[in-house]
Amino acid sequence: MTQTLLNLLAIAVPLAVGFASLFAFTTWLERKILARIQNRIGPNRISLPFTRFRRLFGLIQPAADGLKMLAKEDIVPRDADKLLHLLAPILSLVPPMMVLCLLPLELPYATAGMRALQAAALDNAVLLFFAITSLNTLAVFMAGWASRNKYSLLGGMRAVAQMVSYEIPLVLSAAVVIMAAGGMNAQAIVEAQRAQWFIFTPWGLAAFLIFFIASLAETNRSPFDLPEAESEIIAGYFTEYSGFKFALFFLGEYLAIFAVSGLAVTLFLGGGAGPWVAAYPALSCVWFLAKIFALIFVMIWLRGTLPRLRVDQLMGFAWKFLLPLSLLNLFVAAAALKLAKPWLSWPVGALVLYGAAVALSRSHRADAAPRTYSYAE
């Protein structure tokens, strides 16, 4: 019993603490990358106190931010629903924390006893992942409703519409991988990609792109950050949150990014597979995190590039483009998996999927004419 408890702690604590500190690092990374994209420097002032290490590229910045958040006053609006207002940030943190242990992350020091306790070994890990992450919508809407603020409510409504819509292409594109791997066990899915990562098949590539786009929307990342659109609705659902509750929302958001990137790595990018893993099994963990951070880099890069969508564009993109395409992709994957001639899958699959994507994008082109000037030419 004691041994089981110790094993459980040995898995759970590093996951919780490790990803929380990776969150701090990622906020720094995001600010630095965005700054460099805009030809700025980014945070670089905070120094380590009482040492001669003066600046360290601003790496101490997240610690200073965290301290500031802790020290700030916790303001609750007078007319807010106090209980829901308190519960929302906590609930927004729980689902991403839970799904992190569903990732097939092989801790280097794990013994057989620890591995048996890992949730990644569950037979329906992928299903559980989607079931738990959909709880996040509830936390967001709770925050929007409880604040009794029009911006919060607008953000909450937007978030519900967006997260419910994008969950469908997200799950459908994951279903392709489940078909190919023949199960929902995360480790079995990684195992099934030993010969070839699923991203290197036509249906896998299409599913990965759909999954990545939908995961951007699921985690409220730019260009789908409508629920917290600063220029439109202040901060959306967490407008009325300050101090550590705000930090909890922030943390929950980044943990959700880790979780959904981790799932993308599991489903499409071969999990912890990579060079020299056979010789040094501890590297598997490193490769897994490296792939997660590669995806996060692309997310930040997209944030530095693309402007935000309009609400109608957002919903239209999910229902009229991503959904039909991911449905078609199911058929393409089924055909490719049963195909007698595997070499045909690339040309035919790519042609069908790309043709469908072009046809879909053409049929829904916006009718709005560009702005015309009546006097200037």
Partner 1 sequence: MRLLGFGILKGMAVTLENFVRSYFDRDRRHHLFTKEYAWEPGAPAEVLPARADTTVTAHSRNFPILLHDGADPMGGIRCVACQICERECPPQCIYIEKDYDEQGKYIKRPAIFDIDLSVCMSCQICVEVCPFDAIVMDSQFELSTANRFGGLLQHRDQLLKSNEYYHRIHPEEARARDDRMAQEKAEKEAKQAAADAAKKKAAEAKAAAEIAAEKSKPEPSAPTAGGAA
Residues that bind partner 1 (CB under 8 A): 33, 36-41, 301-302, 304-306, 354, 357-358, 361, 373-376
Cα 185 to chain centroid distance, Å, stands at: 20
Q: Cβ neighbours of residue 126 under 8 Å, at least 6 residues apart? A: 174, 178, 184, 186, 189, 263, 267
Nearer to partner 1, 71 or 376 (CB): 376
Does residue 263 contact residue 24 with C-beta atoms inside 8 Å? no
Rounded distance between C-alpha atoms, residue 351 and residue 77, angstroms: 55
Identify residue 37 by its one-letter amino acid code: I
Are 84 and 146 spatial neighbours (Cβ–Cβ below 8 Å)? Answer: yes
Q: Which is nearer to partner 1, 302 or 327 (CB)?
A: 302
Per-position b or e across 12-26, b if 16+ CB within 10 A of its CB = beebeebbbebbbeb
Instruction: Kindly tell me which of 223 and 243 has the beta carbon lying closer to partner 1.
Output: 223
Amino acid at 166: Y
Name the H helices within 149-276: 150-181, 186-192, 202-218, 230-233, 243-268
Of 50 and 373, nearer to partner 1 (C-beta) is 373
What is the smallest separation between the CB atom of 38 and partner 1, expressed in angstroms?
A: 7
Nearer to partner 1, 44 or 124 (CB): 44
Rounded to the nearest whole angstrom, what is the least distance from the CB of residue 27 to partner 1 in the complex?
Answer: 18
CB 44 to partner 1: min, Å: 8
Q: Quote the least distance from Cβ 210 to partner 1, whole Å.
A: 12
User: How much is the CA Rg of the chain, to the nearest whole Å?
Assistant: 22
Residue 261 in contact with residue 290, Cβ under 8 Å?
no
Q: Give the DSSP per-residue string, 133-185.
A: HTHHHHHHHHHHHHTT-HHHHHHHHHHHHHHHHHHHHHHHHHHHHHHHHTS--
Distance CA 377, CA 372 (A): 9
Residue 248: CB minimum distance to partner 1, A: 31
Give 163 or 325: the residue with its C-beta nearer to partner 1: 325
- At closest approach, how far in Å is the CB of 42 from partner 1? 9
How deeply is 279 buried, as exposed, middle or buried, from its count of CB atoms within 10 A (0-12, 13-18, 19+)? exposed
Q: Which residue, 296 or 357, has its beta carbon nearer to partner 1?
A: 357
CB of 359 to partner 1, least distance (A): 10
Residue number, 343 or 373, with CB nearest to partner 1:
373
- 120 or 325: CB nearest partner 1: 325
Q: Which residue type occupies 50? A: F
* Least separation in angstroms between CB 323 and partner 1: 17
Helices 125-133 and 243-268 cross at an angle (nearest 10°) of 150
Least separation in angstroms between CB 304 and partner 1: 5
Q: In angstroms, give the least distance from the CB of 302 to partner 1.
A: 7
Omega of the bond leading into 281 within 30 degrees of 0 (cis) = no
Helix/strand/coil (H/E/C) assignment for every residue in 306-335: CCCCCHHHHHHHHHHHHHHHHHHHHHHHHH
Please state, in angstroms and rounded to a whole number, the distance separating the CA atoms of residues 92 and 199: 31
Instruction: Using the minimum distance from each CB to partner 1, give the nearer residue, 95 or 349.
Output: 349
